[in-house]
Structure 1
């Protein structure tokens, strides 16, 4: 019985290793991004040139990462929909923050700027210049402060 259990553990470990070994990160051009990602970059960053663009391809998923200078990093899913915009403690473009969320922040934290925004299946998470993290649902309604 122990032998079968050990064999199963080794088999699972081997499969996990082979999946991770097949992951590939490659540098690509802006034109090689999905159309949604290209539109997002043009809308919010104009003609600003990225430092690099990576395509992270794994067995079951593909993601893209765009980096501008030492600050802003954007993650897109395989369809080119943004998942996260991280300013690394510098403010991100106001145009990225949904209007209802931006209005809430302006009203309740008038001196603060958004340095990071992430969209997940449950809603949005934003980080402000003062370090507070605010959570919003998918309807962009405020849910809670996360520290």
Structure 2
């Protein structure tokens, strides 16, 4: 029985290593991003040029990461939809933040700025300059504070 468990664990580890070994990060031009990502960058960052654009290809998925000189990073999914905007402790552009979330933060944390926003299956997660993490549902309604 023990050898079967060891064999199964070895197979799983081998498969996981194999999948991760096939991951490939490549520097690409901004123009090679999916159209949605290009539109997002043009809308919220105008003519600012990124310091780099990465395409991260794995067996089952592709993601893109764009970084600007101020260290602000944006992650996109394979279709070019933004997943995360991280200002690395600096304020992110207000135009990215859904109005309902921006209003909640302005009303309840008037001295704070949003430094990171992430969208997931169940909603948004934001990080404020004071370190608090706020969660919102997909409609932008506040759900909880997470620290």
Q: What TM-score does the superposition give when structure 1 sets the normalisation length? A: 0.96
The runs of at least 4 consecutive aligned structure 1 residues that moved more than 6 Å come to none
Q: Which runs of 5+ in 2 are unaligned?
A: none
2:82 matches 1:82: yes
> Who is 2:134 aligned against?
134
Secondary structure at 1:43 match in 2: helix
Q: How does 1:1-147 map to 2 (within 5 A)?
A: 1-147=1-147
Contact 1:71 1:90 in 2 (8 A): no
1:130 CA drift (Å): 1.3
d(CA) in 2 for partners of 1:131 and 1:117?
Answer: 13
d(CA) in 1 for partners of 2:36 and 2:47?
Answer: 16
d(CA) in 1 for partners of 2:134 and 2:8?
Answer: 43
String of CA shifts for 1:80-100, please: whole Å, max 9, x gaps.
Answer: 000000000000000000011
String of CA shifts for 1:94-114, please: whole Å, max 9, x gaps.
Answer: 000001101111111112111
Q: What TM-score does the superposition give when structure 2 sets the normalisation length? A: 0.96
String of CA shifts for 1:6-34, please: whole Å, max 9, x gaps.
Answer: 22222222111111110000000001000
Aligned residues: 147
d(CA) in 2 for partners of 1:5 and 1:131?
Answer: 43
Q: Which runs of 5+ in 1 are unaligned?
A: none
Contact 1:22 1:59 in 2 (8 A): yes
